[in-house]
Amino acid sequence: MMAFPLQIAWDNSYAAQLGEFYVSCLPAAAPEPTLLQLNRRLADELGWDVAAIDPGAAARLFSGVELPAGTQPLAQAYAGHQFGGFAPQLGDGRALLLGEVIDRHGRRRDIGLKGSGPTPFSRGGDGKAAIGPVLREYLIGEAMHACGIPTTRALAAVATGEQVMRERPLPGAVLTRVAASHVRVGTFEFFAARDQQDRVRRLADYVIARHDPELVADGDRYLRLLASVAERQASLVAGWMLLGFIHGVMNTDNMAVSGETIDYGPCAFMEAFDPQAVFSSIDHGGRYAYEKQPAVARWNLARFAETLLPLFDAEAPADAVGKATEVIEQFMPRYEAHWLAGARRKLGLAAESRDDEADTRLVQDWMTLLARHQVDWTLAWRKLADAAEGSPESVVSLFGPSPEVPAWLARWQQRWDAAGPVVADRLRRVNPIYIPRNHLVEESLAAAGDGDLAPLERLLAAVSRPYDERSELAEYAEPAPLEFTSRYRTFCGT
Ligand code: AMP
Ligand code: MG
């Protein structure tokens, strides 16, 4: 085999510093790796010589068939609360961390494979992934990124040439995932559950050095780590809510301490606004419904705080529990502050406003109208720009006859601090016209399963520039037929 043409400077801090936190493990050999997608812009961001990556070499690298010098493939240990119940051992059962690189901006990024075969954490699973879930994660992750939401990214998708057995045989694939790190709340839980406080401390020190370096020498660093993770989650979940994103499986093993969205399984975008929307086929009780997401994030943070309690005790023996509780209690106010700031931007209002209460009421009244008339979340916000330009018909018509909508629009206009066209311009920069509409996602994945990648690539092109309206993409802005949405169920990507 030819020498691998790409020079990659690996710098594997997790492998080097946290020896007891993982198991070394090699990817399974994909019989016939074929490149499905390569994210050249992201490869370039990583500082990789994009021109040197031909499709064959990329397929070998991003399926794990060929491991460049310097990679140290490993499966990370983690536990997790899944739907409220504690599972003491989960771990990377179908994923491997290949290593870390420092990108062009000096940021440390994990490079991992998902679907690369069994590991010691597979618990009877095959460690593999089917092409549909792999491309789904690729598409939705990239759409989230384009909308400014912190998220793991997709670098490549490769078909393995092997069938994986699900309800029926499906073509197998591997996703290459790039993440700020893969440390989860569940990683802390794994060691805390085994009463290994020394390891919890080492993990906390590792996370502080990696994600919160300004805390390294802080006397209260563990408490401040909790506050910092809480702040990132408050901001992240506010971003999800404003975008209409439902993660679907917010277990603690799917909450990254970096503040990135991780693990796109049964996630979906809401269409007609319904605070109780749930799409996941396994979420029978609606635990992870749209409107529950902030409260679940807070619940997960309380589980994180519990793992750190012995460290707080050493830091502030007088009132460790009280101080940690204070941080957790600050979560909702911090979430609401992020949410209101984002909602103001979505209404085109100046970031600084003197009247939080009036603005909150204005947004809430708007959302009440959206819910009552079951209006498409994304379109309604987007069309506010037309109203700002003096053509309210396009937004009014989304609601059907309702005198309340013009009344609300008039109230909204009174809050403007700039001329209509200026407001419209602001609105179109923050309210996407293209999101991965569930029906289009499913159509494009079905086509990809049949070997036709064109619909996926068109959809990817639309959602990669979500604010930039293009006349040829009109159908991508349209909601699914109601029939589709009411029956829509999403599945975990296993
Ligand atoms: P998830 O809910 O998809 O985040 O996964 C939860 C746990 O199940 C993790 O420990 C995964 O590694 C594991 N898992 C999911 N799918 C598979 C699979 N096909 N083979 C082995 N382990 C899996
Ligand atoms: Mg997971």
- For the stretch 52-93, pLDDT in tens is 889 999 999 999 999 999 999 999 999 999 999 999 999 999
- Tell me the mean pLDDT in the region 389-405: 95
Bridge partners of 81, per DSSP, are 86
- Tell me the mean pLDDT in the region 415-429: 97
Our answer on whether the CB atom of 494 is closer than 6 Å to any ligand 1 atom is yes
Sign of dihedral through CA atoms 410, 344, 327, 196?
Answer: positive
State if pTM tops 0.85.
Answer: yes
Our answer on whether the CB atom of 75 is closer than 6 Å to any ligand 1 atom is no
What is the pLDDT at residue 456? 98
Report which bound ligand comes closest to the CA of 182.
2
Angle between helix 131-146 and 438-449 (nearest 10):
140
Report which bound ligand comes closest to the CA of 133.
1
What is the pLDDT at residue 366? 98
* Percentage of residues of the chain with pLDDT beyond 90: 90
What pLDDT, in 10s, does the model give residues 303-340?
999 999 999 988 777 888 999 999 999 999 999 999 99
Measured in Å, residue 133 CA sits from the centre of ligand 2 at 13
Q: Quick one: which atom of ligand 1 is closest to the CA of 493?
A: 3
Measured in Å, residue 29 CA sits from the centre of ligand 1 at 19
Ligand 1 binding pocket mutation candidate from 74, 81, 122 (most atoms within 8 A of CB):
122
User: Measured between alpha carbons, how far is 421 from 413 in angstroms, rounded to an integer?
Assistant: 12
Our answer on whether the CB atom of 33 is closer than 6 Å to any ligand 1 atom is no
Cβ neighbours of 105 (radius 10 Å) = 8
What is the pLDDT at residue 1? 44
Measured in Å, residue 265 CA sits from the centre of ligand 2 at 8
Per-residue confidence at 492, pLDDT binned at 50, 70, 90? Answer: confident
- Nearest CA-CA partner of 99 in 159, 153, 177: 177
Ligand 1 binding pocket mutation candidate from 25, 94, 281 (most atoms within 8 A of CB):
94
User: Measured between alpha carbons, how far is 424 from 408 in angstroms, rounded to an integer?
Assistant: 17
What is the pLDDT at residue 353? 67
On whether the CB atoms of residues 38 and 51 are closer than 8 A, the answer is no
Measured in Å, residue 184 CA sits from the centre of ligand 2 at 9
Our answer on whether the CB atom of 127 is closer than 6 Å to any ligand 1 atom is yes
Cβ neighbours of 318 (radius 10 Å) = 7
Ligand 1 binding pocket mutation candidate from 78, 90, 182, 491 (most atoms within 8 A of CB):
90
- Which amino acid appears at position 236 of this protein? L
Rounded to whole angstroms, what are the CA distances from 232 to 30, 100, 151, 191, 426?
Answer: 37, 22, 12, 23, 25
Per-residue confidence at 7, pLDDT binned at 50, 70, 90? Answer: confident
Q: In this structure, which long-range contacts are made by residues 365-369, counting pairs with CB atoms below 8 Å and at least 24 apart in sequence?
A: 365/408, 365/411, 366/408, 366/412, 367/273, 369/399, 369/402, 369/404, 369/405, 369/408
Report which bound ligand comes closest to the CA of 492.
1
Our answer on whether the CB atom of 254 is closer than 6 Å to any ligand 1 atom is yes
Our answer on whether the CB atom of 132 is closer than 6 Å to any ligand 1 atom is no
On whether the CB atoms of residues 56 and 38 are closer than 8 A, the answer is no
Measured in Å, residue 180 CA sits from the centre of ligand 1 at 20
User: Measured between alpha carbons, how far is 431 from 412 in angstroms, rounded to an integer?
Assistant: 16
Our answer on whether the CB atom of 271 is closer than 6 Å to any ligand 1 atom is no
User: Measured between alpha carbons, how far is 305 from 226 in angstroms, rounded to an integer?
Assistant: 7
What pLDDT, in 10s, does the model give residues 109-137?
999 999 999 999 999 999 999 999 999 99
Measured in Å, residue 94 CA sits from the centre of ligand 1 at 6
Q: Quick one: which atom of ligand 1 is closest to the CA of 95?
A: 12
On whether the CB atoms of residues 448 and 460 are closer than 8 A, the answer is no
Measured in Å, residue 249 CA sits from the centre of ligand 2 at 8
What is the pLDDT at residue 241? 98
Indicate which residues carry an active-site annotation.
253
What pLDDT, in 10s, does the model give residues 228-276?
999 999 999 999 999 999 999 999 999 999 999 999 999 999 999 999 9
Our answer on whether the CB atom of 249 is closer than 6 Å to any ligand 1 atom is yes
Phi, psi for residue 198 in degrees, rounded to 5: -65, -40
The residue whose C-alpha atom lies closest to atom 13 belonging to ligand 1 is: 93
Max Cα distance, the chain (Å): 71
